[in-house]
Every structure is written in C-alpha cells, then in structure tokens.
Amino acid sequence: MKTKFLPRKEKVNSKGYMPIQLIVNIGGKRIRQNVPETNVLSNHWKNDRIKPNLKTEKYNFHIEYNKKLDDLEKRVKDVFRYILLNDLRPTKELFLAEFNNDTLENKISPNFFNSFQEFVDTSKTTKAPGTIRKYITTKRFIADFTEFYLYDLRFETITIDFYEKLRDYAFEERNTLNNYFGRTISVIKAFMNWSLDRGYHSNTEFKRFKRMQDNIEVIYLTMEELMTLYNHNFSSKRLNYVKDFYCFGCFTGLRFSDIKALRSSNVYQDHLKLNIQKTKTIDQTIPLNNYAKEILARYKDTLYEPLPSISGQKFNLYIKECCEIAQINTLVNTTRYIGQRRVDKVQPKYQLITSHTARKTFVTNSLILGMKEMVVRNITGHKDEASFKRYVEIAEDFKRSEMDNTWNKIVL
C-alpha cells in the first residue's frame, strides 16, 4: 500500500490555489480522496507537503495543513496495519470502509478462525465429545462457505448479510437440511457469545440470527421389533456384540456415549449409578429391568465386562446390518426440508436405525406400556419439555389406534 498527496492542478482557482488530494494504491487499484478545507499554491508545494512561506508573504497555514496530511497518512497506515494483522484481503471496498470508520481502533483484532479453534480447545474440558464434533464440523462448514464466496470473514462481518449468504450456500450448494443448518447457526451464536464475553469483538448483530428447526419423525423400534432383534442370534460375534449394546440402550434409555463410558463399578444388583456426560448429572440412578440384567450377565467376568465397546461410526453401520438381517424392514415415510423444498423418502426401517434410536425406543415404549411420564423423564434426564412431548403424543396415538383395533371392531 503506497500513499502520496498531490495538488489538483485541474481544480486551480483564479487566485492560483489548488485543493490537495490523497492517493492510495492498494491491490493494484488507485483510490483518490479529497482532503477537505485545504488549498495550496504550486510554489508552496514540495515533497508531499506544504513548505513554509516567506516572511514577506501571507501565512499559508502550512503547520495546520501539514498536520492534517500527517494525520491522514497515519490513518492510512492504521488501516493497512489493521488489514495486515487480521490477515484480510486488501480491497478498495475494505479500505474505504475502514478508512471512513470512526470507530476503527489501531489494535490487533483476533483472527476469526484462530479464535474459533480456541473456542473448540477450551470447550473440550466442559463439553461432551459429540458437542466438540459439532463445533469442528461447523468450523469446517464456515471455512468451505468462506472459500466458495471469497467472503471477507471477520468478527465485524458476522452480519445479517453473512447469515443470508450462509443460508443460501447451505440450501443451494450443499443441500443442507433445515435442522442441520439450525444446529450450525446455534454453534455460531454460541461462539460469538463466547468471543464477545472475552472482548474479541463488540458485534451483537448475530443475536438476530434465527435457528431453523423442523419437527421430524421419531424413529424407534416397536416392542415386537425390539424383541425380534433381542432374540435374534447372529452368526457373527461382532453383530451379537452390537445387538446387545444397542438393546441395552433400548432397555435403559442411556445415550451411546454413556453406555460406552460404562464401567463395572457403575453396575449394582438392580440399577446403574453413573455420571451423565451430556447433562453433567452426578450419580444418576438407572433401574435395570430383566432384559438389561440378562445382557450384563452375558459379559460378567469376561474381557468385555460390562459391555463390548465399539466406535460410533462403525456402530451405526453395523446396527443397520443387524436390523436388516433380523428383517426389521417396515417401510417408513420421512419428510425433510431444505429451505422451502420438501424432500420425501420411503425407506425400510433398518436404514434409519442409529445409536440415537435406542434411547427413543426406550422412551416411546415405556410410555406405551404405561410408565408415568415423570418416571420416564427422571430415568432419561430429559429437560426439554417440547422434545419429550413428541414421545407422549406418539404413545397416545398408539393407544388410540389399539383402542380402535380392538373395541371398535366388536360387532354388537
């Protein structure tokens, strides 16, 4: 970035005075800005400044004018330093925006992505591994968006314009579902709040971002399907291990991460006592029914006690294989939205079974079998009223359907 001042000879007035112009070369482009309230005679101009006039001449304001030129030159250097230290792409638009920004401070503003990584790293001791994975995925998603649009990403540019461009990129370029985009926005807002608290920026426009969230189908195994899977003896030990792990979640309501963290010291005669990772609940008591006890008994005093362990990615692949072999293949209609575009699919149920559906299976079947809502919530630790209400509605629909299929078919 190069700076110089020149008198505008084409604007000379009848008395020979000319206004001064600031010229900045940046990124191969020339930016011109008039210096207000400055006039100079050509014989007073030398080396980018106004030289003092002779004592016999009228005072030419060289002290005041040169001070103004010095301040403007410093302003250009401050903007250039701001761009350099923040690793920004120097453009004419960015220069003019910051040059005319009365609130520009000559300081090192933290880099957005470096700060986001700090946010991820400092969260590792307080957040569940699944949450950390969401943070990392969101960071990668934003990086892809920035590269695609060549977006000038800084704390100051996290605006409604950023939100709308990110939304368009998600729906039009990535075919992102509304709920996934909503989770992305939720992480961005969490990061911006975190960085705001640390004084990394003063931008609060992100608080206006809206998180999209569509209600989706609750995928779960009916009692008949669950018992079919539970009683199936697979020819592969690997699949039997996966089946037992999954069914244990269906019989206890525990999350995948909590089952994986289970130790023999957590197991008592008729209950489990453990610290729940996601909600940070200490000494949560989980009653054990006969099916859960039977699964634990299979691995008692073995290398796998209390249960065999497996990675989440492989687990979701193998449990689908288990359910396919067990012929859990009822066709399921699913509806998702990408923006306003509706996407309908019909799939066999085994394709939709993941580690998350075990917990949903426990909640739904417990309510259908008549367990009180308060008891179910106490076991599972559900705190979100809206999300739990979906399970209650499914249970009520099932009971109404069963009533219709029995009493209403009686011929008097």
Segment 118-152, tens digit of pLDDT: 999 999 988 888 899 999 999 999 999 999 998 98
Residue 208 scores a pLDDT above 80: yes
Structure-model confidence comparison of residues 401 and 24, the more confident one: 24
Q: What is the mean pLDDT of residues 287-314?
A: 93
Q: How far apart are CA 412 and CA 410, in angstroms?
A: 6
Structure-model confidence comparison of residues 92 and 335, the more confident one: 335
Amino acid making up residue 284: Q
Q: Is 371 exposed, middle or buried (0-12, 13-18, 19+ CB in 10 A)?
A: middle
Q: What is the pLDDT of residue 286?
A: 93
Q: Which letter, b or e, does each residue of 201-235 get, where b requires 16 or more Cβ atoms within 10 Å of its Cβ?
A: bebeebeebeebeeeeeebbbbeebbeebbebebe
Tokens for 76? 């250009």
Give the dihedral sign, CA 293/295/298/299: negative
Q: What is the pLDDT of residue 78?
A: 80
CA 257-261-263 angle, 5° bins: 150
Q: Which letter, b or e, does each residue of 28-67 get, where b requires 16 or more Cβ atoms within 10 Å of its Cβ?
A: eeebeeebeebbbbeebbeeeebeeeeeeeeebbeeebbe
Query: What Å distances lie between residue 100 and 105, 110, 202, CA to CA?
Result: 12, 21, 18
Quote the pTM value.
0.67
Tokens for 319? 């449990």
Q: What is the pLDDT of residue 388?
A: 83
251: enclosing H helix or E strand: helix 237-252
Query: Where does 261-355 have alpha helices with state H?
Result: 290-298, 312-325
- pLDDT tens digit sequence for 151-181: 988 888 999 999 999 999 999 999 999 999 9
Residue 106 scores a pLDDT above 50: no
CA neighbor of 252 nearest in space, from 298, 299, 219, 285: 285
- What architecture does CATH give domain 223-409? Orthogonal Bundle (1.10)
Q: How confident is the model at residue 29 (pLDDT cuts 50, 70, 90)?
A: confident
Mean pLDDT is lowest, of 183-197, 208-222, 375-389, for: 375-389
Q: What is the mean pLDDT of residues 100-112?
A: 65
Residue 146 CA from chain centroid, whole number: 15
Q: How far apart are CA 305 and CA 6, in angstroms?
A: 83
CA neighbor of 116 nearest in space, from 133, 87, 138, 144: 138
Average pLDDT of the chain, as a whole number? 89
- C-beta separation of 271 from 142 below 8 A: no
Q: How far apart are CA 116 and CA 335, in angstroms?
A: 33
- pLDDT tens digit sequence for 240-269: 999 999 999 999 999 998 999 999 999 999
CA neighbor of 307 nearest in space, from 252, 352, 361: 252
Query: What Å distances lie between residue 353 and 35, 130, 311, 333, 400, CA to CA?
Result: 69, 18, 16, 14, 25
32: enclosing H helix or E strand: strand 29-34
Q: Which residues contact 233 (CB under 8 A, 6 or more apart)?
A: 240
Q: What is the pLDDT of residue 108?
A: 46
Q: What percent of the chain has pLDDT over 70?
A: 95
Query: Where does 198-236 have alpha helices with state H?
Result: 223-231
3-state SS, residue 358: helix
Number of C-alpha atoms within 13 angstroms, CB side, residue 248? 29
